Structure formats: structure tokens, C-alpha cells
Amino acid sequence: MILINHENRLHVDTACANLAIKFNMLYVSVFQLIKEHIDKQTPIGKALAKSYQTRDLKDVSSVKVMDKDSLARQEFEFSAVHYDLPIVIQLIKETIMAKRTTQQFILLEGLCNSTKLSRESDRLELRQMDEFFALEKSIGEVNSVISLISEPEITQIPES
């Protein structure tokens, strides 16, 4: 499994889809999966909708003025950080089992993005490593992580 982590201003869906085609990988966009299942009101989509918790995300002010159908706005609204992690993991697992044929690698985009949360308490509740370990435990080994983030991640909380 290869994880893709990126800033919301970077639209990586087309590039990821093309890479997946070129190198025979299964591409899974988590926010698109969540949106699809909620819109179609599948059983797992209903469970996701029921588990929804509004969490403030960084850079959301620019997205609020966007057209409701814009990809960036949908990525904020259907981000995995708003939903119960075990349900999201189950959705990913079921999707991989249903769609995987001969692909050796899975290109997974839209998970482990708790750094996009604006409140420190939310970031502590949904830690990146918890998402990472849940993914490896339920689905399989993460082989690589591609981070398309321009600012370094804060690893220490400044003292008051």
C-alpha cells in the first residue's frame, strides 16, 4: 500500500489515477468513496453519515465560498477525519476486496490527514499514527508514504 498525503490546494486525483493505470495499481480516494456511499445511502454510507462529527479544518475559509460541487469543497466535507475510523477502514477494506484484480499495489489517498485539523484537541484525539496502525492491522502493510506538504509538520507543542 502506498499512502498519498497532500495539501487541499493540490488536486492529485488525476495524477494518482494516471499513475495507477500506468503501473497497474488500484487507486482509492477515501473522500470520494465516503461521498459515493453516503450519496447512494448504502448500509456503510448510512453508518458513516450517522458517525459524522464536525471538525474544523485548516484553510476551510477559502473553501466555504466555493461552489458546493467543487472538488476541493467536497474533499473538506467528506474528509475521513469527520467519520468514525473503524467504519472508514471497513469501507476501504471492502472496496479493495471488491475492486482488486491483478494489482500488486494500492494507491490510497485521503487517509492519515489529521494534520489538517485546526484544533489541537482534535489532532490529539485522531492521531496520524493511530490511523496508520489501524490501516496496517486491518488491510495490510504500508510500503510507502508520499507527502505533498509544503510546510514541515510540527512535532513539538510550544511551551506556554
The yes-or-no verdict on residue 131 having pLDDT over 70 is yes
What does the pLDDT read at residue 65? 45
In a domain, 153, yes or no: no
pTM (2 decimals)?
0.74
In a domain, 13, yes or no: yes
In a domain, 130, yes or no: yes
Across residues 72-99, what is the average pLDDT?
85
In a domain, 150, yes or no: no
What does the pLDDT read at residue 121? 66
Range(s) of the domain holding residue 47: 2-144
In a domain, 156, yes or no: no
* Residue in 35, 13, 39 with CA at minimum distance from that of residue 82: 35
In a domain, 24, yes or no: yes
Task: Name every residue whose Cβ is closer than 8 Å to that of residue 106 and which is 6 or more positions away in sequence.
Answer: 1, 2, 25, 26, 27, 28, 96, 100, 139, 140
In a domain, 50, yes or no: yes
Across residues 97-114, what is the average pLDDT?
85
What does the pLDDT read at residue 36? 94
Number of domains comprising the chain: 1
In a domain, 21, yes or no: yes
